[in-house]
Structure 1
Amino acid sequence: MHKNALGRRVFAGLFSLLLPLAAVHAQAPKPITLIVGASPGGTTDRVARGIAQEMSDILGTTVIVENKPGAGGNIAADQVARSAKDGNTLLVSFTSFTVNASLYKKLPFDPQKDFSPISMLAQVPSVLVARKDFPANNVEELIKLGKSKPKELSFALGGIGSSLHMATANFQMVTGIEGLNVPYKGTSPAIQDLVGGQVDLMFASVENVLPLLDSGRIKFLAVTSDKPLKQFPGLPPVSDTVPGFTSQAWFGMFGPAGMSPERLAELNKAAVEGAKRPSFISLMTHGGGQVVTNTPTEFAEFIKKDIAHYADVVKFTGASVD
């Protein structure tokens, strides 16, 4: 009996020591998963990994990045739309989120009703470039040439439905140029053909053409930001010739619809604070972009307007995906 009583006291003592540990474990925040609708290594992936690191530090929890490429980001978006409303599964998306609302005939989700916009994270402009012996040296000369030769100027498209495709379409729509659009499966092969002189023009990402800046292999005409970029000294914005024209890819964070206001506010605060940290700012400016953050309400309004904007652009292109 004495041994049994001693054993019970020892067990009770050990159990009491384990209770605080169990409580700590129960209170530990669950990891957050950022679903990315793009392959590793691209701009969207880098944005996601950059903000994941900052938010992990701010929230004191693990933030994991999971790549789910395919269908222009729709596979990733659909997964988040169907996820639990606890804010532990989030989406880092890009311009295709609003483009796809018009590009795809049918989506498995509603981009405005099935998500909780958290915050925009960044915007990245593109660069209008031409083959090295292209006769126009600026946007004004390009527009005059394009209007004098309808459907003769060839524009390389770095992916149907991409932000670069939409920049091309928007430019043609507002300037009245009827171009011959040549689709490619990505930006790299399009640039190769531009360098080789097989196509005349294209809108390209900053990071893809920056290495060619002083090579003399292509001609730089303009940037699509509203201000000049420090990476391209002396290169004017398209808007200097075409007032009001801007075309910038955006990147932002979403949760599923129905998250609590408290959780939404917590995630917005962490995302905004993380995006304004020097390391994330450096990541964005390296690729010619800039950090842009907002409130959930402001981001939701932006999404609404962007869907309407791209509805007109997609209609102009005639592009459609079943």
Structure 2
Amino acid sequence: MSNDLPITRRGFGALAGAGAAAAALGAFPKPALAQGYPARVVTLIVPFAPGGSTDLVARLVAAKMGEVLGQQVIVDNRGGAGGNLGAGVVAKADPDGYTILMGTVATHALNPALYKKISYDAVKDFAPISLLVNVPNVLTVNPKFPAKTVQELIDLAKAEPGKYAYASSGNGSPLHLSGELFKKLAGVDIVHIPYKGSGPALVDVIAGQVPMQFDNMPSSTEHIKTGRLRALGVTTAKRTATFPDLPAIGETLPGYDTYSWNALFAPAGTPPEAIEKLNAAAVKALQDEGVKAKLTDFSAEIVGSDPQVLADLVKAELAKWAPIVADSGAQID
């Protein structure tokens, strides 16, 4: 991601119109921070409704970041269009360090491939701050389903193509595409059944209406522990601390690795000093014992990266998911 744009597109016309005045002063002004940044409240836009995993991570981290920065970091939920609405707001915000985004694999890797029209460029319009956490997904089945391992599931699906179905939280969601990657690498034909959210999908898998589901680990954790669901594998490359005995799907399907992630972004052109302060505050917030404990309970893997790691991740994720989205046939107007 680039953070070397001196002004936003919206601001360019105004500056161009003021060219004569700027020339008289000797130069165009560049974005600069007032002394003592942050001098006022920082707004963290969450591009999804309250109550989900992204919102939970945002509120945990924002509270501690505010303590570190000496200014409140408030969470502003701007749900809509699969995260595009909130991400677009931040992409067009003034690059002054006071409006930042809680980005996800959806906003910065899937949506650019899914949507015919999107109001932002996932790379050019944002300055990366920090990759905060990775959140694993999990493949679960109804307890009465005959497969008890990933390999047994693959064998069943290959023996009877098209017979079995999997549920997800919706078309084009990270969980839908976790299933599509599974199908591709395993060479199986299983039918996708999209739901309007993980909750309704969980209900039907537990009831036996659909035999299996790809879900965020936090949503399924209690159901796995109580035996209402049987977990076959986590979608991350390695096993998770929450369920150390649960194999990773990649142990059966080499190269399989999907997960959700949460990361902080600012508008492109945000001064480096602001990025540095925001990064330091985010990393320190993730080191707080209370935050760490809650995120661990939430099955999140704490990262707290520097900006370059996040920039590299976005480019890699875009390259990874574009062909998977194309193969799935999913597209949203």
TM-score (norm 2): 0.86
Q: Which residue of 2 aligns with 1:7?
A: none
- Matches of 1:39 and 1:132, distance apart in 2: 31
Alignment partner of 1:121: what SS?
strand
Q: Which residue of 2 aligns with 1:57?
A: 67
Alignment equivalent of 2:57, drawn from 47, 53, 56: 47
Q: Does 1:226 align with 2:219?
A: no
2:70 partner letter? G
Structure 1 residues 244-263: aligned runs within 5 Å: 244-263=255-274
Indicate how the Cα distance of structure 1 residues 45 and 28 shifts in structure 2: closer, same or farther if over 3 A, else same: closer
- Matches of 1:298 and 1:229, distance apart in 2: 22
- Matches of 1:237 and 1:158, distance apart in 2: 21
- Matches of 2:309 and 2:74, distance apart in 1: 26
Alignment partner of 2:274: what SS?
helix
1:148 partner letter? A
Gaps of 5+ in 1: 1-25
Q: CA RMSD in A?
A: 1.7
Alignment partner of 2:296: what SS?
helix
- Matches of 1:134 and 1:175, distance apart in 2: 19
Please report how far the alpha carbon of residue 233 of structure 1 lies from its aligned counterpart in structure 2 after TM superposition. Answer: 4.7
Gaps of 5+ in 2: 1-35
- Matches of 2:245 and 2:271, distance apart in 1: 48
70-79 or 167-176: which moved more? Answer: 167-176
Indicate how the Cα distance of structure 1 residues 28 and 177 shifts in structure 2: closer, same or farther if over 3 A, else same: closer
> Is the Cα contact below 8 Å between 1:34 and 1:66 reproduced in 2?
yes
Q: Does 1:116 align with 2:127?
A: yes
- Matches of 2:255 and 2:289, distance apart in 1: 30
Q: Does 1:82 align with 2:92?
A: yes
Indicate how the Cα distance of structure 1 residues 27 and 139 shifts in structure 2: closer, same or farther if over 3 A, else same: closer
Structure 1 residues 5-24: aligned runs within 5 Å: none
Alignment partner of 1:141: what SS?
helix
Question: CA-to-partner distance for each residue in 1:237-274, whole Å, 9 max, x for gaps?
Answer: 11111122221100000000011122211211111221
- Matches of 1:316 and 1:147, distance apart in 2: 19
1:305 partner letter? A
Question: CA-to-partner distance for each residue in 1:193-232, whole Å, 9 max, x for gaps?
Answer: 1111111111122222222224333222111223333433
Indicate how the Cα distance of structure 1 residues 210 and 108 shifts in structure 2: closer, same or farther if over 3 A, else same: same
Question: CA-to-partner distance for each residue in 1:124-166, whole Å, 9 max, x for gaps?
Answer: 1011111121111101111111112111110101122222112
> Is the Cα contact below 8 Å between 1:281 and 1:290 reproduced in 2?
no
- Matches of 2:72 and 2:213, distance apart in 1: 40
Alignment equivalent of 1:308, drawn from 313, 316, 319: 319
Q: Which residue of 1 aligns with 2:193?
A: 182
Q: Does 1:199 align with 2:210?
A: yes
Please report how far the alpha carbon of residue 234 of structure 1 lies from its aligned counterpart in structure 2 after TM superposition. Answer: 2.2
Q: Which runs of 4+ in 1 moved over 4 A?
A: none
Indicate how the Cα distance of structure 1 residues 259 and 154 shifts in structure 2: closer, same or farther if over 3 A, else same: same
Q: Which residue of 2 aligns with 1:96?
A: 106
Please report how far the alpha carbon of residue 276 of structure 1 lies from its aligned counterpart in structure 2 after TM superposition. Answer: 2.1
- Matches of 2:110 and 2:187, distance apart in 1: 21
TM-score (norm 1): 0.89
Q: Which residue of 2 aligns with 1:173?
A: 184
> Is the Cα contact below 8 Å between 2:37 and 2:274 reproduced in 1?
no
- Matches of 1:291 and 1:217, distance apart in 2: 28
- Matches of 2:78 and 2:156, distance apart in 1: 42
Alignment equivalent of 2:294, drawn from 283, 286, 308: 283
Please report how far the alpha carbon of residue 42 of structure 1 lies from its aligned counterpart in structure 2 after TM superposition. Answer: 1.0
Q: Which residue of 1 aligns with 2:41?
A: 31
1:59 partner letter? L
Indicate how the Cα distance of structure 1 residues 85 and 28 shifts in structure 2: closer, same or farther if over 3 A, else same: closer
- Matches of 2:313 and 2:38, distance apart in 1: 35
Alignment equivalent of 1:143, drawn from 154, 160, 163: 154
Please report how far the alpha carbon of residue 43 of structure 1 lies from its aligned counterpart in structure 2 after TM superposition. Answer: 0.7
Aligned residues: 298
Q: Which residue of 2 aligns with 1:20?
A: none
- Matches of 1:206 and 1:85, distance apart in 2: 35
Alignment equivalent of 1:296, drawn from 294, 300, 307: 307
Alignment partner of 1:78: what SS?
helix
